[in-house]
């Protein structure tokens, strides 16, 4: 049913088309709008199924009617199965399907609007706009439409945004999509210190460094960085204390002229920051990694520590001492650890469970000397030697700390768009040095102790504290036996050794004597200190023999009363020279002092008799001592009384003597004062006499000075009077000369001139008044006003003269 409700009528609007099947002929024609068609019973509407590649009958007209293919400006369409003559359907009529190029496809650029013949398909694609860092991958599918010599079917071409900003392919080319409706691919933009890796179909790799825009070749793909899932990699930053381990996988040559160097496949390289601070991988290099880490960092070895380094080729183990930042070369060197046996742990580090658990896991730490378990938690330690703590070389731990002492590379993201500042303080980078037990076995030797270091080649040396000694890999410590057990620490100063010696006196009495020896070792003979395996037993046996032989010369009473002196004299012979050294044993040991403890008689009955005898002797000695003290006290009292009388007499005589001396001094002082007073009075009178003469001389001098001043004043006045007279005379003469020089004519001329000047000024002043009166002239007014003055008649005198002059 059509839209207007009438059956079998097909109405197509503009820009619409449909396919009509003639069931009797089997032909399919194309109907394009706008048009109206009455369908017969043999006509059926069909549509072409691209999946099945055949025409399928459509029951509903709306499903059969389709719109024209519209290709706007800057778009293009891919037309599948084009006509052989290149024609397009006519509009508004029925089109017979022409012969099609089945399997072919052509590119139609916009703007274009057309219908599809039955069996044709079209896909409209927007033209490809490219930025400078984008590209397209284009495949040649028909070289007959192109230059056959230049292009081949299946050939891939990269269209770069740096060459073309907008691209529409021509027939023969097709743009390979990334996925549905996505064609434009992004190139890799590399900044400085970045690089990318391109791998071709043959497995060859190419490394490109930034800054750059990288376009792959058609047969190349980018290797993706697994850390951030991008094709970019960071250049490897190296320093003087870090390096990278490489394997040469292909022969290559670098450098020029004299610096030219060839590397062969199979060689191993270790490049540090001293050789190259920034490392970019190259195709001839393969990086050898350990536990996923590629950078080898130096190991921090503090002062007093060390690390064992094994040479992989020779097997030699050397020791590197701190302070140092040691960077082992992985081609030849490996950091090794030394494991100690249980006995070594117990002897070298007594009381340290950490050492034992590390070297002998799950071992029970037992005191070898006493046979008792040392309770670390309750602080019950052995007292025979210093408890030494473990010391090791320490590894640097910034970032990821590895088991081999190396540190992984630190990565940082830097944004270069501008400066960013915050309000919080960024703490400085901190490292933790805590690689316990990784380094050289270290022995801390305390003050007054020594160890004997023995190597496997037979060399030995004695080391005296206080100091820290680093054991070489083949060195061990010699064990010293004592009556209390074994130890490796020999106490060389003030070593106290206790012994209980049983001696027999001349009268066959057995006595037990407790003796303590203070033993030291001669520093000049330290190479012999460990020559005797058990120096304690040796000393005890030696001194016991001497003491027993010496005590045999004394009776019980003699020895009992002088036991300390006898034994000290036996152990410490009297020295003739105060500065002479004590006698030493073959191992350099000598007894510097001896202390005698309890002296106990083994026979109880003899001991009781001796005690009773000693008691009686003590009682008598005390009585004698008391009597002697009383006599001594009496003597002292008498002596004190006599001394007191003598002292009183001396004091009295001394007082008299002092009194006489004082009186004599007083008399002498008074006589001296009288003599001084008399001399003073005499000197005063003599001074007054001398002073009077001086006063007379002064008076005479003053009178003479006054006279001289008066004379000078008179003379000065006379000179002034004379000068004044001369001045008056000179002035008078000058005036006379001036008066004489003035002639009568000069006086008359001067007078006339002054009168004329004055009359002129008066006339000018009074002329307004004369004009106002109208009856009197100016001369009359002037003459009237000057009457009674010294100038009266002056006008009359002047005017006639002027009249005469004019006449």
Summarised one tens digit per residue, pLDDT across range 65-113 is: 999 999 999 999 999 999 999 899 999 999 998 999 999 999 999 899 9
Q: Are 514 and 498 in contact (CB under 8 A)?
A: yes
Residues of the chain above pLDDT 90, percent: 36
Q: Smallest Cα–Cα separation from 307: which of 245, 395, 409, 195?
A: 395
pLDDT for the residue numbered 394: 27
Mean pLDDT of 537-550: 90
> What are the angstrom distances between the C-alpha of 790 and each of 252, 648, 764?
145, 138, 20
Instruction: Check residue 116 and give its pLDDT.
Output: 94
Given a cut of 80, whether residue 511 has pLDDT beyond it is: yes
In whole angstroms, how far apart are CA 773 and each of 277, 768, 778, 780?
A: 130, 9, 10, 11
Q: Can you tell me the mean pLDDT for 436-445?
A: 85
Q: Is there a contact between 365 and 353 (Cβ–Cβ < 8 Å)?
A: yes
* Residue 368 reports pLDDT greater than 80: no
Is the link from the previous residue into 323 a cis peptide, with omega within 30 of 0?
A: yes
What pLDDT, in 10s, does the model give residues 767-800? 666 666 555 666 676 677 666 666 666 656 555 4
Tens of pLDDT along 616-644?
Answer: 677 777 888 888 888 888 888 888 988 88
Mean pLDDT score of the chain, rounded to an integer? 81
Q: CA neighbours within 13 Å on the CB side: how many for 631? A: 6
Rounded mean pLDDT, 243-254:
93
Cβ–Cβ < 8 Å for 76, 168 = yes
Nearest 10 degrees: CA dihedral of 690, 694, 699, 704?
A: 140
CB 616 within 8 A of CB 590: no
Question: Which pLDDT value is given to residue 622?
Answer: 80
Q: Report whether pLDDT(17) > 70.
A: yes
Distances (CA, A) of 590 to 116, 520, 533, 534, 546: 122, 6, 16, 15, 15
| pLDDT confidence bin for 752, thresholds 50/70/90 | low
Query: In this model, does residue 428 exceed pLDDT 80?
Result: no
Chain Cα centroid distance, residue 757: 111
Check pLDDT > 80 for residue 608.
no
The most distant pair of C-alpha atoms in the chain lies apart, rounded to whole Å, by 198
Q: Average pLDDT for residues 700-714, to the nearest whole number?
A: 86
- pLDDT-based confidence at 372, cuts 50/70/90? very low
Task: Give residue 125's pLDDT.
Answer: 96
Whole-number Å distance between alpha carbons of 245 and 240: 14
What is the rounded average pLDDT of the residues 115-124? 93
Counting residues of the chain whose pLDDT is more than 70, the rounded percentage is: 79
Checking if the pLDDT of 403 tops 80, the result is: no
Q: Can you spell out the DSSP letters for 682-711?
A: HHHHHHHHHHHHHHHHHHHHHHHHHHHHHH
Q: Is the pLDDT of residue 265 over 90?
A: yes
The single-letter DSSP state of residue 132 is T
Listed range (44-53, 252-261, 749-758) with the worst mean pLDDT: 749-758
What gap in Å lies between CA 108 and CA 123, rounded to an integer? 10
Span 680-702, average pLDDT: 84
Task: Name residues whose C-beta falls within 8 Å of residue 510's C-beta, 6 or more positions apart in sequence.
Answer: 502, 503, 504, 601, 602, 603
Q: What is the pLDDT of residue 357?
A: 87
Lowest mean pLDDT of 31-40, 220-229, 571-580, 674-683, name the range.
Answer: 571-580
What are the extents of the domains in the chain? 9-122, 126-299, 492-602, 609-666, 701-732, 745-806
**Is residue 803 predicted with pLDDT exceeding 50?**
no
Read off the pLDDT of each residue in 184-198 and give the average, rounded to a whole number.
Answer: 94
pLDDT at residue 89, as a whole number: 94
What's the whole-model pTM score? Answer: 0.55
Question: What pLDDT, on the 0 to 100 scale, is given for residue 489?
Answer: 92
Mean pLDDT value across residues 44-62: 88
Q: At what angle do helices 794-806 and 744-773 cross, to 10 degrees?
A: 100
Question: In whole angstroms, what is the distance from residue 106 CA to residue 82 CA?
Answer: 7
CATH superfamily of 492-602: Band 7 domain (3.30.479.30)
Query: In the predicted model, is pLDDT for residue 754 greater than 70?
Result: no
Lowest mean pLDDT among 26-30, 445-449, 766-770: 766-770
More confident residue, 345 or 400: 345
Q: Which residue has the higher pLDDT, 799 or 536?
A: 536
Are residues 512 and 504 in contact, defined by beta-carbon separation less than 8 angstroms? no
pLDDT tens sequence across 455-505: 988 899 999 999 989 999 899 999 988 877 889 999 998 889 998 999 888
Task: Determine contact, residues 176/156, Cβ cutoff 8 Å.
Answer: yes
Of 27 and 742, the structure prediction assigns the larger pLDDT to 27
Closest CA to 348 of 326, 368, 375, 323: 368
Listing DSSP states for 21-73 in one string gives EETTTTEEEEEESSEEEE--TTEEEEEEETTTTEEEE-SSHHHH-EEPEEE-T
Query: What is the per-residue pLDDT for 156?
Result: 94
* pLDDT of 242 strictly over 90: yes
Main-chain dihedrals φ then ψ at residue 373, nearest 5 degrees: -75, 130
Res. 385 pLDDT band, cuts 50 70 90: very low
Pick the residue with more confidence: 415 or 502?
502
Q: Of 221-230, 385-394, 549-558, 790-799, which has the strongest mean pLDDT?
A: 221-230
Element holding 442 (H helix, E strand): strand 442-445
Residue count (the chain)? 807
In sequence order, what are the residues at sequence separation of 6 or more whose Cβ sits closer than 8 angstroms to the Cβ of residue 292? Answer: 408
**Which helix (DSSP H) or strand (DSSP E) does residue 475 occupy?**
strand 475-477
Distance CA 485, CA 368 (A): 7
**pLDDT band, very low/low/confident/very high, at 175 (cuts 50, 70, 90):** very high
Q: Which of the pair, 804 or 352, is modelled with greater confidence?
A: 352
User: What residue spans of 319-361 are helical by DSSP H?
Assistant: 342-348, 353-359
Q: What is the pLDDT of residue 65?
A: 92
């Amino acid at each position: 049913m059509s839209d207007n409700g009438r059956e079998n009528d097909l109405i197509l609007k503009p820009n619409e088309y449909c396919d009509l099947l003639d069931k009797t002929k089997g032909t399919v024609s194309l109907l394009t709008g706008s048009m109206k068609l009455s369908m017969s019973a043999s006509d059926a509407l069909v549509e072409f199924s691209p999946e099945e590649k055949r025409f399928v009958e459509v029951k509903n007209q709306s499903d059969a009617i389709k719109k024209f293919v519209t290709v706007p400006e800057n778009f293009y369409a891919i037309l599948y199965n084009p006509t052989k003559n290149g024609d397009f359907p006519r509009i508004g009529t029925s089109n017979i399907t022409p012969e099609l190029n089945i399997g072919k496809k052509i590119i139609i650029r916009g703007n274009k609007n057309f219908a599809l013949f039955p069996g044709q398909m079209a896909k409209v694609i927007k033209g490809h706009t490219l930025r400078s860092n984008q590209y397209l991958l284009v495949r040649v599918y028909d070289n007959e439409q192109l230059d056959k010599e230049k292009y081949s079917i299946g050939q891939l071409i990269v269209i770069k945004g740096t060459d073309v900003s907008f691209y529409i392919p021509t027939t023969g080319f097709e743009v390979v999509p990334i996925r549905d409706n996505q064609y434009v691919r992004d190139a890799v933009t590399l900044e400085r210190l970045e690089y990318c890796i391109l791998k071709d179909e043959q497995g060859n790799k190419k490394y490109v460094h930034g800054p750059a825009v990288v376009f792959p070749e058609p047969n190349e793909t980018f290797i993706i960085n697994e850390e951030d899932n991008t094709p970019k990699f960071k250049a490897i930053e190296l320093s003087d204390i870090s390096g990278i381990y490489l394997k040469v996988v292909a022969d290559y040559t670098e450098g020029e002229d004299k610096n030219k160097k060839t590397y062969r496949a199979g060689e191993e390289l270790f490049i540090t920051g001293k050789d190259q601070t920034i490392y970019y991988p190259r195709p001839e290099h393969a990086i050898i990694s350990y536990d996923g880490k590629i950078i080898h960092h130096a190991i921090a070895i503090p002062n007093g520590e060390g690390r064992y380094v094994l040479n992989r080729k020779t097997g030699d183990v050397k020791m590197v001492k701190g302070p140092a930042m040691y960077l082992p070369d992985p081609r030849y060197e490996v950091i090794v650890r030394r494991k100690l046996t249980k006995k070594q742990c117990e002897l070298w580090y007594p009381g340290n469970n950490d050492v034992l658990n590390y070297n002998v896991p799950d071992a029970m730490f037992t005191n070898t000397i006493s046979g008792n378990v040392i309770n670390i938690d309750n602080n019950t330690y052995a007292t025979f030697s210093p408890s030494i703590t473990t010391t090791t070389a320490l590894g640097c731990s910034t970032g990821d700390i590895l088991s081999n002492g190396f540190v992984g590379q630190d990565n940082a993201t830097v944004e270069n768009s501008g400066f960013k500042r915050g309000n919080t303080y960024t703490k400085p980078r901190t490292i933790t040095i805590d690689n316990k037990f990784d380094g050289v076995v270290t022995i801390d030797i305390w003050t007054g102790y020594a160890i004997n270091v023995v190597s496997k080649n037979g060399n030995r040396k004695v080391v005296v504290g206080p100091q820290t000694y680093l054991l070489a890999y083949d060195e061990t410590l010699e064990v010293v036996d004592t009556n209390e057990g074994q130890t490796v620490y020999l106490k060389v100063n003030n070593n106290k050794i206790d012994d209980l010696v049983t001696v027999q006196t001349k009268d066959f009495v057995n006595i037990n004597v407790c003796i303590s020896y203070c033993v030291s070792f001669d520093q000049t003979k330290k190479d012999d200190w460990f020559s005797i395996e058990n120096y304690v037993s040796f000393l005890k046996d030696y001194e016991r023999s001497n003491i027993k032989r010496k005590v045999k010369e004394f009776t019980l009473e003699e020895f009992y009363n002088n036991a300390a002196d006898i034994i000290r004299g036996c152990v410490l012979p009297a020295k003739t020279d105060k500065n002479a050294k004590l006698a030493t044993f073959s191992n350099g040991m000598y007894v510097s002092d001896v202390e005698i403890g309890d002296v106990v008689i083994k026979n109880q009955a003899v001991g009781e008799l001796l005690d009773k005898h000693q008691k009686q002797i003590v009682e008598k000695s005390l009585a004698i001592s008391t009597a002697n003290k009383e006599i001594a006290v009496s003597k002292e009292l008498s002596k004190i009384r006599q001394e007191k009388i003598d002292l009183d007499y001396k004091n009295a005589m001394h007082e008299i003597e002092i009194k006489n001396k004082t009186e004599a001094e007083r008399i002498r002082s008074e006589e001296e004062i009288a003599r001084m007073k008399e001399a003073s009075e005499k000197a005063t009178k003599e001074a007054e006499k001398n002073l009077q003469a001086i006063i007379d001389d002064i008076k005479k001098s003053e009178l003479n000075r006054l006279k001289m001043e008066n004379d000078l004043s008179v003379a000065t006045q006379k000179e002034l009077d004379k000068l004044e007279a001369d001045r008056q005379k000179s002035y008078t003469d000058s005036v006379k000369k001036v008066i004489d020089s003035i002639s009568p004519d000069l006086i008359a001329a001067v007078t006339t001139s002054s009168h004329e000047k004055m009359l002129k000024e008066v006339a000018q002043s009074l002329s307004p008044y004369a004009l106002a009166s109208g009856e009197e002239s100016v001369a009359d007014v002037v003459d009237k006003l000057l009457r009674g003055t010294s100038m009266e008649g002056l006008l009359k005198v002047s005017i006639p003269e002027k009249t005469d002059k004019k006449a």
